[in-house]
């Protein structure tokens, strides 16, 4: 296309964005109009993408980090022939694939869900990392960002990661339209303010007029030919470009144009240009995933082991068996034990340093390219990535998260390091699986199992050594549990525990047994989904469930058991032992006792229940 045709295509994208938003009665046409020329030139000249084969390994990847500019994206899809005009006008309507913010759940050409700002670039870094380091593919990753979202720290975690990994296959395009939602951004049209920051973070920077299609064309070319570092194109644009009523004006974010017809006329009317998007020059190398037999670690009867150690060893073994497993570390691999994997499979280990948003976003990007990522840090610090995890679920991304150092049982380090909210966070994520093993063999099995699940999977591990409770061949299905002790109908109470509280519950059961109070102990390693059958049977037979967890009372194990009783059936009596105050520093044993979740506290609670004859 020549310059005039590119400009025409830009106008068409504006018009179609306005039409889609007008049909919807909502949406972000002005945010789409500022980036229309950037998108037109990318689509016509630089993107290599086969819309008929979104899975093509040599496809470039495009991420709309400013997800609210979805009218522009869908207008581009139409120009590329991927959707028709009729579908374009279903934008934001019930049942349409064209949502307010794009998601890969519904559209095959979308790499990751966006709409929470500052996340497209971090995920794009993960995708580019896959291309550069793991796939050895020539595909490029193009990420269209807004200028407002550069205020998000996640952008700078991504910037640091991308330059550290020399991702010259990554180009960020920043639509500097100077206007955020409620007014001007901090830096307005000062392109160099943004450029200075990216340069300092090791990026190649290009500053252009984002409405000059020739300048845009040259910038993309320069980005493609820049080696050894990622490039960012800072494009000066006008929000609402091309329509005088809205151009460069405040107060119009996220609103359809008042007079769409007049605006369309001002832009030269409806067009129907079609773009033949370049398909990849090469067929692309089918992913080679070497693998071997899964040889999970084993421990000898009587040995003690920490579940974090078991995780590390199992992950290393899984990495040997499966060539598609990748581990990501948040600069705590010596604590979480991803270092075991790093030593055996350095080529599939990604060091993300202390940047938990990037840790999880990179995992989402790797998952988008078909890898099976395991991202690990302290359970407490995964809270940093809560929004990234939430959006991963919106994407339907398959990622494994591992949170170590859960709970007060870590001991002296104190509350800043204790994951006491992680079960609540991970349970509330749509479609998640939440696993909390209590011994090494159970951990190893679950590490292998989670690789094959859908959605966001979470494994909670503990710092200290614990006893072996299971043999190496025991199986632990997701949604299952283990009844570790029971006298059947004679049990007076059921103690439901998981992780570090399982050995405490067993010790309590010993003490209670000696006092003539038989209790049942359930190891609820699968916190979500829970084992409805076993919990219901325990409810019927013992009448009372006592849950004990190294977590705050809200959203954890105690709430999880309720999932078995939410259809109107009778609910057993419930008692919850959990961490209700802010711990200080103390030894692990002192911490469990102070929190009232050790064997002694459990036994005391059961005795109280039985003495009060509250149980049947």
The footprint of a second copy on residues 436-475 (CB under 8 A) is: none
* Of the candidate residues 331, 344, 541, 600, the single one contacting a second copy (CB under 8 A): 331
* Of the candidate residues 229, 358, 442, 461, the single one contacting a second copy (CB under 8 A): 358
Residues 561-590 that bind a second copy (CB under 8 A): 562-563, 565-576, 581-582, 584-587, 590
Nearer to a second copy, 321 or 586 (CB): 586
477 phi/psi in degrees, rounded to 5: -65, 145
Reported as half-sphere exposure (CB side, CA atoms, 13 A), residue 303 has a value of: 16
Nearer to a second copy, 297 or 572 (CB): 572
* Of the candidate residues 10, 17, 29, 67, the single one contacting a second copy (CB under 8 A): 67
- Tell me whether residue 356 is one of the annotated catalytic residues: yes
Number of residues that bind a second copy (CB under 8 A): 123
Of 103-111, 314-322, 497-505, 510-518, the window that binds a second copy (rule: CB under 8 A) is: 103-111
Residues 215-274 that bind a second copy (CB under 8 A): 251, 253
Of 133-141, 311-319, 350-358, 446-454, the window that binds a second copy (rule: CB under 8 A) is: 350-358
Of 292-300, 412-420, 476-484, 516-524, the window that binds a second copy (rule: CB under 8 A) is: 412-420
Provide the 3-class DSSP secondary structure of residue 143: strand
**Least distance from a second copy to the Cβ atom of residue 23, Å:** 12
Contact (CB, 8 A) for 417 and 405: yes
Exposed/middle/buried for 563, CB within 10 Å: 0-12, 13-18, 19+? middle
Residues 105-124 that bind a second copy (CB under 8 A): 105-106, 113-118
Nearer to a second copy, 360 or 469 (CB): 360
Q: What is the dihedral of CA 71, 72, 78, 83, to 10 degrees?
A: -40
**Least distance from a second copy to the Cβ atom of residue 231, Å:** 17
C-alpha distances (whole Å) from 460 to each of 94, 270, 499, 500, 550 are: 38, 55, 8, 11, 11
Q: CA angle 335-336-338, nearest 5°?
A: 115
* Of the candidate residues 11, 148, 231, 307, the single one contacting a second copy (CB under 8 A): 148
**Least distance from a second copy to the Cβ atom of residue 483, Å:** 21
Pairing of strands 141-146, 170-176: parallel
Of 37-45, 291-299, 311-319, 326-334, the window that binds a second copy (rule: CB under 8 A) is: 326-334
Contact (CB, 8 A) for 237 and 211: yes
* Of the candidate residues 16, 37, 135, 149, the single one contacting a second copy (CB under 8 A): 149
* Of the candidate residues 23, 51, 54, 96, the single one contacting a second copy (CB under 8 A): 96
| Spatial CA neighbour of 466 closest among 253, 311, 294 | 311
How far is residue 199's CA from residue 229's CA, in Å, rounded to a whole number? Answer: 10
Report if residue 26 touches a second copy, rule: CB under 8 A: yes
At CB < 8 A and 24+ separation, what contacts does 555-558 make? 555/421, 555/423, 555/424, 555/425, 555/427, 555/428, 556/423, 556/424, 556/427, 556/527, 557/423, 557/436, 557/496, 557/497, 557/498, 557/524, 557/527
Question: How is residue 227 written in tokens?
Answer: 């080696």
* Of the candidate residues 380, 459, 496, 548, the single one contacting a second copy (CB under 8 A): 380
Q: Which residues on adjacent β-strands are paired with residue 377?
A: 403
Nearer to a second copy, 24 or 216 (CB): 24
**Least distance from a second copy to the Cβ atom of residue 475, Å:** 26
Residues 165-204 that bind a second copy (CB under 8 A): 180-182, 185-186, 196-197, 199-201
Question: How is residue 406 written in tokens?
Answer: 């859960």
Nearer to a second copy, 220 or 374 (CB): 374
356, 421, 504, 549: the catalytic one is: 356
**Least distance from a second copy to the Cβ atom of residue 564, Å:** 11
Contact (CB, 8 A) for 315 and 329: no
| Spatial CA neighbour of 128 closest among 350, 385, 376, 454 | 350
Question: How is residue 311 written in tokens?
Answer: 């995780």
Report if residue 384 touches a second copy, rule: CB under 8 A: yes
What positions carry a catalytic annotation?
356
């Amino acid at each position: 296309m020549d310059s005039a045709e590119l400009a025409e295509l830009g106008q068409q994208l504006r018009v179609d964005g306005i039409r889609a938003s007008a049909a919807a009665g909502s949406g972000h046409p002005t945010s789409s109009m500022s980036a229309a020329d950037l998108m037109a030139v990318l689509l016509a000249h630089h993107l290599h993408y086969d819309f008929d084969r979104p899975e093509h390994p040599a496809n470039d990847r495009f991420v709309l980090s400013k997800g609210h500019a979805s009218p522009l994206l869908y207008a581009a899809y139409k120009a590329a022939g991927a959707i028709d005009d009729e579908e374009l006008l279903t934008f934001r309507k019930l049942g349409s694939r064209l949502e307010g913010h794009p998601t890969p759940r519904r559209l095959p050409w979308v790499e990751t869900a966006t709409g929470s700002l500052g996340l497209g670039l971090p995920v794009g870094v993960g995708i580019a990392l896959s291309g550069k380091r793991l796939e050895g593919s020539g595909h490029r990753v193009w990420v269209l960002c807004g200028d407002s979202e550069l205020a998000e720290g996640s952008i700078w975690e991504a910037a640091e990661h991308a330059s550290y990994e020399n991702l010259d296959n990554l180009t960020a395009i920043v639509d500097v339209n100077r206007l955020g939602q409620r007014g001007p951004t901090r830096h307005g049209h000062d392109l160099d303010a943004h450029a200075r920051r990216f340069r300092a973070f090791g990026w190649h920077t290009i500053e252009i007029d984002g409405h000059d299609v020739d300048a845009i064309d040259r910038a993309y070319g320069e980005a493609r030919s820049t080696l050894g570092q990622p490039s960012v194109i800072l494009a000066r644009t006008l929000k609402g470009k091309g329509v005088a009523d809205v151009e460069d004006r405040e107060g119009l974010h996220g609103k359809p144009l008042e007079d769409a017809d007049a605006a369309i006329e001002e832009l030269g009317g409806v067009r129907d240009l079609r773009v033949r998007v370049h398909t990849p020059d090469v067929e692309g190398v089918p992913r080679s995933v070497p693998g071997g037999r899964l040889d999970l670690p084993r421990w000898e009867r009587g040995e003690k082991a920490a579940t974090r150690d078991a995780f590390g060893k199992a992950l290393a073994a899984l990495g040997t068996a499966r060539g598609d497993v990748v581990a990501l570390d948040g600069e705590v691999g010596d604590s979480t034990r991803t270092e075991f994997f790093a030593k055996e499979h350095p080529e599939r280990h990604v060091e993300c340093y202390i940047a938990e948003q990037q840790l999880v976003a990179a995992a989402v990007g790797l998952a988008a390219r078909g890898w099976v990522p395991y991202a690990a840090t302290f359970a407490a610090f995964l809270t940093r990535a809560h929004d990234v995890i939430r959006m991963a679920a919106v994407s339907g991304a398959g990622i494994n998260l591992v949170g170590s150092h859960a709970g007060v049982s870590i001991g002296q380090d104190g509350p800043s390091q204790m994951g006491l909210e992680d079960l609540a966070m991970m349970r509330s994520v749509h479609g998640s699986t939440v696993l909390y093993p209590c011994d090494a063999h159970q951990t190893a099995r679950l590490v292998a199992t989670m690789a094959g699940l859908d959605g966001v999977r979470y494994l909670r591990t503990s710092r200290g050594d614990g006893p072996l409770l299971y043999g190496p061949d025991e199986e632990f299905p997701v949604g299952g549990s283990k009844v570790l002790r029971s006298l059947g109908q004679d049990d007076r109470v059921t103690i439901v525990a998981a992780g570090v509280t399982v050995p405490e519950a067993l010790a309590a059961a010993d003490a209670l047994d000696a006092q003539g109070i038989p209790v049942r102990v359930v190891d609820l390693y699968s916190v979500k989904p829970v084992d409805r059958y076993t919990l219901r049977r325990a409810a019927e037979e013992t009448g009372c469930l006592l849950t004990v967890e190294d977590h705050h009372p809200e959203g954890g194990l105690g709430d999880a058991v309720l999932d078995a009783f939410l259809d109107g059936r009778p609910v057993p009596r419930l008692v919850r032992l959990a961490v209700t105050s802010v711990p200080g520093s103390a030894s692990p044993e002192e911490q469990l006792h102070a929190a009232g979740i050790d064997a002694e506290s459990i036994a005391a609670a059961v005795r109280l229940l039985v003495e009060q004859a509250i149980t049947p």
